[in-house]
Every structure is written in structure tokens, then in C-alpha cells.
A and B are shown apart, each in its own frame.
Chain A
């Protein structure tokens, strides 16, 4: 297994899509989750990294921070029609804030291999867990 990765959970939430991500740090975990979310919406290989956005967020803890971060990616998709190919996330030591640099481009229906539109991150099974030096997150997306 690479240092950060995710796998789909096909038997969770039949009408929707669930995944579990693993990583060696909160920052890598957030990057894995953002790749998983984007992979549900588009084949990332068809995207180019030509536009950069910076996102700074604060929350009460890692759970809320991840929920807000993924929700922001969905909002940017709907409001600005932007999808991202690359994600650099830095979560602070306390797990209460992050800065991220997101690189992608506006949706192009001719060139991008689009998949499912994600409408929301649900609270179902949602959460970040730490086991020793590893972090994992379970996320169920409403399609």
C-alpha cells in the first residue's frame, strides 16, 4: 500500500458512493480524500492543472475540518465549475485548520471524462480515526 490511498466500499449506501482512505498523516489523508471525491466525479487523468485555488479553513477538530474541506470542493464544482487534479494540503498540528493549494481547470464536457455528480458529503459513518501512526477516514457521498 502506498503512503496514502483509498478504496471504494461497494456495500455501503446502495444508491450512493462510499470510500475509506488511509494515510500516514492528516495532510496526506485529506489529499487522499480529495482525490477519491474527485475520482467519483471525473477521470482525473483527463484534467489539466492550469488554474490554482487556495483554500484556508478552520474547524473544531479533524472530523469537522475534513467535512468542511470536502464540502468546499463540491461547492466550488457547482459555483465555479472547477474540478481539481492536484491537491497540496497542510493540516496544522492540532488538526483544527488547514491551508491547501488546489490545481485544476474549469469543466469541459468535450474533453473531460465526467462521471457522477456529487451533491453532498453525508454524516453517515463519517469520521477520521487514528491507529498508531496511521489515519483513516470513512466518507459516504450523496449522488
Chain B
């Protein structure tokens, strides 16, 4: 039986799974999808979104966004908010790569300026931004300095020569989340992260030079607020996170939570849903460590921004300031944060988990930087390296429906092994170059694994969120050059 015939249709793009679906569900689940996307989702999404609905203290609904696919514990594309007293915090609801996210930088260059220099630019960026197995960055830190990075994120970068004064303001949470506690980070996690600032990593992470797609600049008026004034303007997108540091924090606390759950009498439907009461010692410790990883991820993307500015300066022989290389915005899409939301007629703090989901705060919210506060926050949704990405705006409807959340990307539909069987990295590189995309990867195998055919159609994902009204399209961004880890 298809999913669309099993679940209650709330609107053309919202589906509800009732609490009767599975024993122990505390709230219903809601899935944002067209009928086609819903019926194409793996069964794992439905099992996982309903497993999450059974966690203690969950508020209103367990959500799956249009890009949802199976993940560890929570589905990727999952959102859940928990009561800070009765509810839990779960590494499986955040993702191993804490604060994996997207950053978008604008330039005042146009397609015709960049196209003739794209190879030079990509080759230089490939040298300046280390990617691949076991790479180390150029930033040398001692333990004390690394702990400052954990506490202050982009603010540390600004004070240490890795950015402009105004950069931190254009990053979610002002470039650092409060509540970091380096004493709750293991020695092993620190030792993995200390040399990784400014590295891209591997897997689906990338650095991409893009242009606004002239045929799909949906809202040029809103685009102006982001400094996008030309219909083929060039931008740079960075997708990466907290590298081995965040992963080690997650691994450390999964083991700790395994024991803690027994003490707190919590049972979960999947070992990867390991969790602890948010207000417990274990929950508080994990939050303090997780925020350290989140702030390191902000700083990691910031150091990469500086490398990107250096590369453009070298190739175009103009300062980054003269090229107007300002950060448009930076969003987390693997995170848990304490946020204030309207709930049951009152305003209440909740612990919002977004795993493969993006904050989508609407106009007027105090956490949106001043230049965008009247229009809503920028939402950056990354697609595959072949199909491009999107810039959207957060909405008031997201605030009332999804705890201010929307999708994050396109979502994988094919395994890495299957993708490699379908296409060879060398062939893919040549075929992309013919289509005007110059890609350089740490390995050809890694390149083949990230082929566009391995992912869902990002346009359908974005259209779904736009139709649902939880984020609104501003511009599609076409890839010109890409560096893959």
C-alpha cells in the first residue's frame, strides 16, 4: 500500500500519521511532501518519524520535511521540539556532523567575468581549502586557543584575522551559540578537531562557485536585500560542518547516554535514538559539548570564507572588499537549540532538534540580522553538484507550523556503491565540464558517489516547501565550479 493511501492528507503537501500508527507515539507525525515525494520516500522515514514521536516530552508533532530520508535514529529532514523539563536531547536528532550547514557569499562579479577564469579559480581553491581523507588545515592552535574557538566560533575568527568585523552578524546565532562548555568535550574529540579548522572534509561536502540562474530568479525584489542585483551574479556556497570533532562528540555521548537511559527509565525504539533528559546532568553536559562542536563548525566555514576571498583576490587582482565578498548568510542544518516559540497560546522555550533541516524564521524575529529582519531569514538549500541550489526566505507560517523550520537539501535516493556502478568519476567530470561545470575532487570515486542521479529532484523539494508556505523561493543558483572532498 502506498504511503499516500495510508496517511491522512492535511493539505496538498502535508500528510499526518496518527498516534494510532504505532504504540507509544506521544504526538502525531507530519510529513511535508507532494504525493510523488511521499510515495517515493523509503519506509525508514515513516518508521523513524514515528519513533521520534514516541520520545518523552515531544511537543505538537514529529516532522519530516520534503527531503526526508533514512538517517541514524531521526530521519534526515527531521524536526522535533521538546519541553526543556520533561523532554530529552538526542545526538541522533542532531546528526553526527554537528552544525553541518551552508554558507553563501556574494560577489559583484557576473557570469561573463568568472567563466573564463573558472579553472584557475577552482584549481587555486582546491589548493587553499584542504579536502579528503585525514586532511589538516593551516590554522595552528594550542588547546587553549581551540577552546576559545569552541566558545566564540566566528567571533574568535574575527578577532584573529580570519574574517571581517561584520561577518559574525550574518551567521545564524551571530556566529556562536551560547552555552559552550569545553570541559565536557573529551580529550580525543579535541585532538581530532584541533587541526581541522578550514578543511572541507569529504562525503557530500563541497565548495561551489555558482551564478544566479537568470531563468529562475523568482523574487528579484527580495534578492536585492541580499545584494543580488544582477540576474547572473556570481555567489559562492560552502557546505561543511564540524568535521571529526563533532563526530567524536556525538560518539562519546552516544555511549554515555546508553547508560543514562537506564538510570532515567527511558526506553527508545532504536539504539540510535539514545537520549537523556535535557535538564539532567548528562543532557546538560552533552548540550555544552555539542555547542562547542557547533561553534567550531561556524569557525571552520569562516576560515574557508577567508581562503575563498584570498583566491578571488589572486585571480581577479582585486581586494575581496572591492569584489563585495560579503556573507549573505550562514545556516545550521544539524543542530539542537533552545528557542522560544508560540505553543498552545503561550510563548515557551523548547529544545528544537533540526537534523537535515534548516531554521526558517519569518519576518520580525529578533534573531534575524537587522538587514533581513523585516523580510525573514535567508534559507540556503544545497542540491547535488549537478543540479544546483536555492536561496529562500523564512516565513511566519513556518513559525506557526514547524517551529520555524524547513528542508535542507535534496536527499539521497541511491547508495554510494550503486552510484559508482552507474558512472565513473572521470566520465562524470568530463560530462559536467561539457555542461559548463568544472569540478575538482579529492578522489574520482568520491566524485562518482555524489553524482546528481543519486539524489532527489531538489526543485520538487523546494517547490513543496514553497507551496507549503514554510519558506519562499528567491533564486535558484546554478553551479559553475565545484570542489568536492
Partners in one complex: yes
A residues with a Cβ closer than 8 A to B are 8, 10-11, 13-17, 41-42, 71, 74-75, 77-79, 81, 83, 107, 109, 113-117, 119-124, 126, 142-143
Q: Is the CB of B415 within 8 A of A120?
A: no
Q: Mark B111-153, 1 if CB is under 8 A from A, else 0.
A: 0000000000000000000001111100000000000000000
Chain B residues closer than 8 Å to A121, beta-carbon distance = 251
Q: Would you mind naming 15 contact pairs between A and B with Cβ atoms under 8 Å apart?
A: A13-B415, A15-B412, A15-B416, A75-B191, A79-B191, A79-B195, A107-B133, A114-B442, A117-B201, A119-B97, A119-B247, A120-B250, A121-B251, A123-B72, A124-B272
In the A-B complex, list the 5 residue pairs whose CB atoms are closest, starting with the nearest. Answer: A10-B417, A117-B202, A119-B247, A120-B247, A78-B244
Q: Is the CB of B191 within 8 A of A14?
A: no
A13-B70, A14-B413, A15-B204 given; A42·B133 CB < 8 A: yes
Pick from B250, B271, B485: contact of A124, CB under 8 Å: B271
CA distance A61 to B471 in the complex (A): 48
B residues with a Cβ closer than 8 A to A are 69-70, 72, 76, 96-97, 132-136, 188, 191-192, 195-196, 201-204, 243-244, 247-248, 250-251, 254, 271-272, 274, 412-418, 442-443, 445-446, 449, 485
Chain A residues closer than 8 Å to B445, beta-carbon distance = 115-116
Q: Is the CB of B443 within 8 A of A122?
A: no
The binding surface of chain A is classed by DSSP as loop
A124-B72, A142-B96 given; A115·B250 CB < 8 A: no
User: B485: nearest residue on chain A (CB-CB)?
Assistant: A117
A11-B415, A78-B192 given; A123·B272 CB < 8 A: yes
Q: Is the CB of B417 within 8 A of A75?
A: no
A14-B413, A78-B192 given; A109·B132 CB < 8 A: yes
User: A82: nearest residue on chain B (CB-CB)?
Assistant: B134
User: A143: nearest residue on chain B (CB-CB)?
Assistant: B203
Q: Is the CB of B132 within 8 A of A75?
A: no
User: A76: nearest residue on chain B (CB-CB)?
Assistant: B134
Pick from A10, A83, A119, A124: contact of B415, CB under 8 Å: A10
Chain A residues closer than 8 Å to B244, beta-carbon distance = 74-75, 78, 119
CA distance A121 to B415 in the complex (A): 18
User: A41: nearest residue on chain B (CB-CB)?
Assistant: B133
Q: Is the CB of B191 within 8 A of A117?
A: no
Q: Is the CB of B188 within 8 A of A116?
A: no
Chain A residues closer than 8 Å to B248, beta-carbon distance = 75, 120
Chain B residues closer than 8 Å to A10, beta-carbon distance = 415-418
Q: Is the CB of B271 within 8 A of A115?
A: no
CA distance A8 to B135 in the complex (A): 25
A123-B272, A124-B272 given; A83·B134 CB < 8 A: yes
Chain A residues closer than 8 Å to B196, beta-carbon distance = 78
Q: Is the CB of B133 within 8 A of A117?
A: yes
Instruction: Tell me the smallest distance from the CB of B231 to a CB of chain A, in Å.
Output: 34
Chain A residues closer than 8 Å to B135, beta-carbon distance = 117
20 new A-B contacts, CB < 8 A, other than A71-B251, A120-B96, are A11-B415, A14-B69, A14-B412, A15-B203, A74-B244, A75-B244, A77-B133, A78-B196, A83-B134, A109-B132, A114-B132, A115-B443, A116-B203, A116-B416, A119-B201, A119-B244, A121-B251, A122-B272, A123-B272, A142-B97
Instruction: Tell me the smallest distance from the CB of B383 to a CB of chain A, in Å.
Output: 15
Q: Is the CB of B254 within 8 A of A123?
A: yes
Instruction: Tell me the smallest distance from the CB of A43 to a CB of chain B, in Å.
Output: 10
Q: Is the CB of A75 within 8 A of B192?
A: yes
A78-B244, A124-B72, A124-B271 given; A119·B96 CB < 8 A: yes
Chain B residues closer than 8 Å to A79, beta-carbon distance = 191-192, 195
Chain B residues closer than 8 Å to A75, beta-carbon distance = 188, 191-192, 244, 248
Q: Is the CB of B96 within 8 A of A14?
A: no
